Copies of this chain bind each other. A is one copy, B any other.
Amino acid sequence: MQEERLPLGVAARLSRYLQILTQTKKSGKRTISSQTLSEYSSVNPTQIRRDLSAFGKFGKRGVGYNVDYLIGRIKEILHTSGQHNLALMGSGNLGVAIATSRIFADHGFDIAALFDTDTVKIGHPVGRLVVQPLSEVAETVRQKNIIVGVLAVPPAAAQAAANLLINSGVRIIFNYSEALVDAPPGVAIHSMSPAGELLYALYFYLT
């Protein structure tokens, strides 16, 4: 039953298409062309048609792709139809912004717990969550079957927060801080790098 794992590039692009399709659906559009998908994803339209046609004939010539149908098929391909629980570290401005946005919820990620070191914040509500102390990380991660941790802490606290999550069983760390974070093999660290991406955009503006 286990199919071959997708090449990195294909999986990355399909994830990106899925995110765009989810937003397109919200806007009420029923179909989308490879051309439009290309404008939002910066992937060549031929490449998009190629990526999709490798799994079946999902589109209608002259019309485009049905948004709902395509979302379903890509979720199948990526095995990400389910609901997944996530722990958020840090209830400062960034943590609260993440906790109160739909950015993860739209894709089936449920923020199941929110942690902070600040005793003033602990016990207080943020959205439908209550801020918990770090001493409860291990137990909560186990209880709620959390496999993803999101770091919304100051750079100096990032490594310690990551270690705590990893030791509790988290296998994917999402790092919003600018700090570099180390992890043992088997744990994926994904660091947001807005400044890096901005440098890249700026290069093409300046040349």
Q: Tell me which residues across on chain B come within 8 A of A191, comparing CB atoms.
A: 40
Q: Tell me which residues across on chain B come within 8 A of A6, comparing CB atoms.
A: 203, 207
Chain A, 171-196, contact with B by CB distance < 8 Å: what is the 0/1 string? Answer: 11010111110100000101111111
Are B11 and A204 within 8 A (Cβ)?
yes
Q: Which of B97, B155, B182 contacts A92 (CB 8 A)?
A: B97
Are A194 and B192 within 8 A (Cβ)?
yes
Q: Which of B11, B84, B196 contacts A200 (CB 8 A)?
A: B11
A186 nearest CB neighbor, chain B only: B205
* A52 CB–B CB distance under 8 Å: no
Q: A97-B93, A206-B79 are in contact. Are A198 and B180 (CB under 8 A)?
A: no
A74 nearest CB neighbor, chain B only: B199
Are A201 and B196 within 8 A (Cβ)?
no
Q: Which of B106, B171, B198 contacts A195 (CB 8 A)?
A: B106
Q: Tell me which residues across on chain B come within 8 A of A12, comparing CB atoms.
A: 200
A121 shortest CB reach to chain B, Å = 14
Size category of the A interface is 35 or more
Q: A20-B180, A180-B23 are in contact. Are A79 and B204 (CB under 8 A)?
A: no
Are A202 and B19 within 8 A (Cβ)?
no
* A122 CB–B CB distance under 8 Å: no
Q: Which of B16, B18, B79, B93 contacts A94 (CB 8 A)?
A: B93
Are A193 and B19 within 8 A (Cβ)?
yes
Q: Tell me which residues across on chain B come within 8 A of A204, comparing CB atoms.
A: 5, 11, 188
Are A196 and B19 within 8 A (Cβ)?
yes
Are B16 and A193 within 8 A (Cβ)?
yes
* A164 CB–B CB distance under 8 Å: no
Chain A, 56-93, contact with B by CB distance < 8 Å: what is the 0/1 string? Answer: 00000000000000000000001110001000000011
